[in-house]
Structure 1
C-alpha cells in the first residue's frame, strides 16, 4: 500500500509537469496563430499593393497569394493543435482526478491495514491472556483434584484402620461373650450340684 501511494504520488507529479508543458505549448500555438493572422493581413495588403502596381506588381501578387495560403494553413494547423491540446488537457484533468482518488484510496488502505494489524495484535494478546488464564485455571483445578484425591485416600485409610479396630473390638467382645457363656454354664452346673447336695442333706436330716 505504501508503494502504491508512492507510485500514485509520482504519477500526480508527472501529470502536473505534463499540464505545465501543455500550457506552454498552448501559449506557443496562440503565438503562432497570431503570427499567421498578422501574416495573412500583410499578405492581403501586399496583394492590394501588387494590384495597384499593375504589370510590375503581378509577380509580387503571386507571392503574396502563396503567403496567404501558407498563413491560412498555419492558422488551421494551430487550431487543430489547440483542439488536440484541449483534449490532452481534458485527459490530464481526468488523470489528476483519478490519481487523487487513487491517493485517497491508498491512504485509506494504509490506515485500514494499520487498524487491521492493531486489531490482530489485540486479538493475539487477548488469546494469549485467555490461554494463560485457562492454563493457570487448569493447573489450579488439577492441584485441587490431587489434594482432594489425597484427602480421600487418607480418609479411606483412616476408615479402614477404624474398621479393623472395630473388627478387633468385636472379636474381643465375642471372645468375652464366649467366656461369659462358659462361666455361666459352669455356674449353672455348680448350682445344680449345690442343689443336689442340699437335697441329700435335707434327706439326711
Structure 2
C-alpha cells in the first residue's frame, strides 16, 4: 500500500506541475483538444456527438460611463513644421499614441457607436494641427456634455477657420469638409473657439433624441 501511495503522490505532483505551469508557458502553448473517441469512460457509454455541449466566449460591449464630464485632456509637444518638410517621426508617433488613447477613452465613455466617425475627426484635426499650424503644442480634449460627445483640438495658433470646397484634384483642403460632413451625419455641430486656436465638434450620443 505504501508503494501505491508513493506512486499516487508522484502522479499527483506530476499533474500539479502540468496544471500550474509558468504563465509564460501557458500563454505561448497551443490549445489542447480532447479526443473523446480515445478517452476512457469509467462512468458509462460515451455521449453522442450531438449531445456534447460547447461554449463560445463573446465580448460584450463595455457599458461605459454615461454621466457628463471630461474623458480626456492631453497635450503633446511637437516641433514646428517648416515649409513642405514632413513632420518628425517622433511627432507622428506622438499623434498616433494620442489617437490610441482617445479611442480607449471614447469606449470607456460608452460611445462605441460613434467610434469610427469620432476617430476620423480626431485624426483629421490632429493631423491638420501638426501639418499646417506651425505649433509647438497640440491639445486634445474629449468630454461628454448634454447628450453629446465633444471633441476639441487646440494648437494655440490663432487663425481664421473657414470651410472651403476643395477641388476634385486637390491633395489638401478636404479635412475640414470631411469633419463637417461627419458631424452633420451624427446630428451635431462644429465650430472654432473665440481665439481661433482650436476646433470643436459635437456628436450626438447613441440613444439621445434629436
Which is strand-richer, 1 or 2?
A: 2
Tell me the TM-score normalized by structure 1. 0.19
Which is helix-richer, 1 or 2?
A: 1
Higher RCO, 1 vs 2 (CA within 8 Å, ≥6 residues apart): 1
Bigger Rg, which one: 1
